[in-house]
């Protein structure tokens, strides 16, 4: 795989790019992590986009300089997140030993966990910055994986009409499988193919906004239970502040997240019930308005009838 980074001056470039790394990290140490991080970014922007950037990465006058720098920062940060946990221990002839010298001491476990969470959150926020840049400059994301224009929630703006996720393009993209699942499993059986494909009719009878509301709630419940919590911008998901560290704190937060997911799930059911009631009422009205047509049996007024 061709990388946007080269061995030459890698250590200084890596430190300058991230800004918070003090160590002089050699290219060979991070090569595997850089490859994994690059694959993740290619999955987001598409291989064609990545190949174009490879040709311009060393051109300082390139019109895509800002775009290249955003991509390189994302790859570097993700590579460090992958690499950092295995760098905490030294692999020696005596087994794995904690790295420590007279000037530095190893961090406590809760400090490491807090730092890991902070790095993950920083990475996801940077992906939002990258995606915002792509949207603003009409740069397509990976259409082979992310196709969403046909969905009932076709973009981030529509999603945020119903629930604010603080402009997180990346979170919206990660929720696309949930939106597809919702349409296939919850809406199609209720509407049928004909009404499902007739958006104007959905608007006319008053179910479209309820469907969109239900879709957002379904996606949020799905995401909270399946995705990394750090994907959600701070403030979207709230947990009770506690001074306890470690396992108890994690368990408390997990329970609160699941309770939040249940709230979204209940709201989804509420909007789906509204959809069902409107469809049921509309069906009854249509049936009532249809004139009752009796078959023509060939009788006329002069015909006699037998009364049994």
Q: Which domain holds residue 244?
A: 156-287
Same domain, 184 and 279: yes
Quote the pLDDT of residue 113.
85
Same domain, 80 and 115: yes
In a domain, 214, yes or no: yes
Contacts of 76 (CB under 8 A, 6+ apart): 5, 14, 17, 18, 34, 37
| Lookup: tokens for 127 | 């992906």
In a domain, 100, yes or no: no
In a domain, 299, yes or no: no
pLDDT tier at 308, thresholds 50, 70, 90: very low
Same domain, 161 and 278: yes
% of the chain at pLDDT higher than 70: 81
Quote the pLDDT of residue 243.
46
Quote the pLDDT of residue 248.
59
Same domain, 245 and 280: yes
Q: Contact 146/131 with Cβ under 8 angstroms? A: no
How far apart, in whole angstroms, are the C-alpha atoms of residue 153 and residue 161?
Answer: 10
Same domain, 116 and 160: no
HSE, CB side, 13 Å, CA atoms: give it for residue 40: 21
In a domain, 308, yes or no: no
CA distances from 10 to 26, 32, 141 (A): 7, 14, 28
Quote the pLDDT of residue 283.
80
Q: Is 214 exposed, middle or buried (0-12, 13-18, 19+ CB in 10 A)?
A: buried
Q: Count how many domains the chain has.
A: 2
Q: Which of 178, 121, 5, 145 is nearest to 129 (CA)?
A: 121
What would the mean pLDDT of 54-81 be, rounded to a whole number?
92
For 71-101, the pLDDT digits (tens) are 999 999 999 999 988 876 666 666 666 666 6
Q: What is the 3-state secondary structure (H, E, C) of the chain?
A: CCCCCCCCCHHHHHHHHHCCCCCCCCHHHHHHHHHHHHHHHHHHHCHHHHHHHHHHCCCCCCCCHHHHHHHHHHHHHHHHHHHHHHHCEEEECCEEEECCECCECCCCHHHHHHHHHHHHHHHHHHHHHHHHHHHHCCCCCCCCCCCCCCCCCCCHHHHHCCCCCCCCHHHHHHCHHHHHHHHHHHHHHHHHHHHHCCHHHHHHHCCHHHHHHHHHHHHHHHHHHHCCHHHCCECCECCCCCCCCCHHHHHHHHHHHHHHHHHHHHHHHHHHHHHHHHHHHHHHHHHHHCCCCCCCCCCCCCCCCCCC
Torsion of CA 182, 185, 186, 189, to 10 degrees: 140
In a domain, 303, yes or no: no
In a domain, 147, yes or no: no
In a domain, 144, yes or no: no
For 221-274, the pLDDT digits (tens) are 999 999 998 898 777 776 545 445 555 556 666 778 889 999 999 999 999 999
Same domain, 170 and 200: yes
| Lookup: tokens for 210 | 């309820």
Same domain, 232 and 124: no
In a domain, 211, yes or no: yes
How far apart, in whole angstroms, are the C-alpha atoms of residue 260 and residue 268?
Answer: 13
């Amino acid at each position: 795989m061709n990388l946007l980074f080269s061995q030459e001056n890698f250590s200084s470039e890596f430190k300058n790019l991230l800004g918070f790394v003090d160590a002089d990290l050699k290219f060979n140490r991070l090569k595997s992590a850089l490859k994994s991080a690059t694959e993740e970014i290619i999955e987001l922007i598409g291989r064609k986009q990545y190949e174009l950037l490879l040709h311009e990465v060393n051109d300082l006058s390139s019109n895509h300089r800002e775009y290249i720098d955003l991509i390189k920062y994302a790859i570097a940060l993700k590579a460090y997140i992958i690499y950092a946990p295995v760098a905490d221990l030294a692999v020696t002839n005596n087994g794995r030993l904690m790295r420590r010298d007279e000037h530095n001491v190893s961090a406590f476990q809760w400090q490491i966990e807090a730092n890991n969470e902070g790095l993950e959150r920083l990475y996801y926020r940077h992906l939002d910055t990258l995606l915002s840049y792509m949207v603003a400059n009409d740069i397509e994301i990976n259409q082979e994986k992310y196709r969403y224009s046909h969905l009932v929630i076709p973009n981030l703006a529509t999603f945020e009409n119903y629930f604010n996720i603080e402009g997180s393009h990346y979170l919206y993209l990660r929720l696309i499988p949930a939106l597809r699942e919702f349409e296939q499993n919850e809406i199609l059986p209720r509407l049928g193919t004909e009404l499902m494909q007739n958006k104007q009719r959905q608007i006319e009878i008053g179910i479209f906004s309820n469907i969109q509301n239900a879709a957002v709630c379904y996606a949020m419940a799905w995401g909270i239970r399946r995705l990394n919590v750090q994907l959600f911008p701070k403030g979207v998901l709230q947990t009770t502040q506690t001074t306890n560290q470690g396992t108890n704190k994690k368990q408390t937060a997990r329970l609160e997240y699941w309770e939040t997911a249940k709230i979204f799930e209940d709201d989804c059911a509420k909007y789906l019930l509204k959809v069902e009631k409107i469809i049921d009422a509309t069906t009854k009205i249509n049936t009532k308005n249809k004139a009752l047509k009796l078959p023509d049996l060939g009788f006329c007024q002069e015909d006699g009838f037998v009364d049994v």
